[in-house]
Structure 1
Amino acid sequence: MFKIGAHMSTSKGFHKVPLDTLAIDGNTFQIFCHSPRTWKVKEPMEEDIIKFKENMKKNNISFEDVLVHSGYLINLATPNYENWEKSINLMIEEIKITSKLGIRYFNVHPGSHLGEGDEFGYDRIAKALDIILNEVKDLNVDILLENVAKKGGNIGWKIEQLGEIIKRSNFPERLGITFDTCHGFDSNYNIKDKNDVKRLLDEIEKYIGLNKFKMIHLNDSKFPLGAGKDRHEFIGEGEIGIRGFETFLSFNEIAKLPMHLETPGDDLEHAEDIKVVKSILGI
Structure 2
Amino acid sequence: MKYVGAHVSASGGVSQAPINAKNINARAFGLFVKNQKRWEAKPLENSEIEKFKNEINEFGYNVKHILPHAGYLINLGNPESEKREKSYNSMIDEAGRCEQLGLTLINVHPGSHLKLISEEECLGLIADSINHVHANTESISIVLENTAGMGSNIGYKFEHLRDIISLVKDKNRVGVCIDTCHAFAAGYDLRTKETYNKTMEDFGKIVGFEYLKGIHLNDSMYDLGLKKDRHESLLKGKLGEECFRLIMNDKRLDDIPIILETIDETIWAEEIEFLYSLSKN
The Cα of 1:206 is off from its aligned counterpart by 2.3
Write the distance in 1 (CA, Å) between the matches of 2:13 and 2:135: 30
Task: Provide structure 1 residue ranges, at least 5 long, that are not aligned to the other structure.
Answer: none
Write the distance in 2 (CA, Å) between the matches of 1:113 and 1:14: 32
Write the distance in 2 (CA, Å) between the matches of 1:247 and 1:190: 12
Letter in 2 for 1:222: M
The answer on whether the counterparts of 1:74 and 1:87 sit within 8 Å (CA) in structure 2 is: yes
Aligned to 1:60: 60
Aligned to 1:276: 274
Deviations 1:190-227 (A, max 9, x none): 11122332233323322322111110000000000111
Write the distance in 1 (CA, Å) between the matches of 2:62 and 2:99: 14
The Cα of 1:168 is off from its aligned counterpart by 1.3
Q: 1:1-283 alignment to 2 at 5 Å?
A: 1-115=1-115, 116-136=117-137, 139-266=138-265, 268-281=266-279
Write the distance in 1 (CA, Å) between the matches of 2:51 and 2:220: 36
Letter in 1 for 2:18: P
The Cα of 1:255 is off from its aligned counterpart by 4.6
Deviations 1:50-78 (A, max 9, x none): 01111111111001110110100000111
The Cα of 1:280 is off from its aligned counterpart by 2.3
For normalisation by structure 1, the TM-score amounts to 0.94
Task: Provide structure 2 residue ranges, at least 5 long, that are not aligned to the other structure.
Answer: none
The answer on whether the counterparts of 2:2 and 2:253 sit within 8 Å (CA) in structure 1 is: no
C-alpha RMSD over aligned residues: 1.5
Per mean C-alpha deviation after superposition, the further-off stretch among 182-191 and 165-174 is: 165-174
SS in 1 for 2:95: helix
Per mean C-alpha deviation after superposition, the further-off stretch among 204-213 and 18-27 is: 204-213
Per mean C-alpha deviation after superposition, the further-off stretch among 190-199 and 67-76 is: 190-199
Deviations 1:226-255 (A, max 9, x none): 111100000111100212212333321125
The answer on whether the counterparts of 1:15 and 1:48 sit within 8 Å (CA) in structure 2 is: yes
Per mean C-alpha deviation after superposition, the further-off stretch among 273-282 and 78-87 is: 273-282
Deviations 1:248-277 (A, max 9, x none): 3332112543200101133x2211221221
The Cα of 1:282 is off from its aligned counterpart by 6.0
Deviations 1:138-192 (A, max 9, x none): x221111000002221111111110000101222221110000000000111111
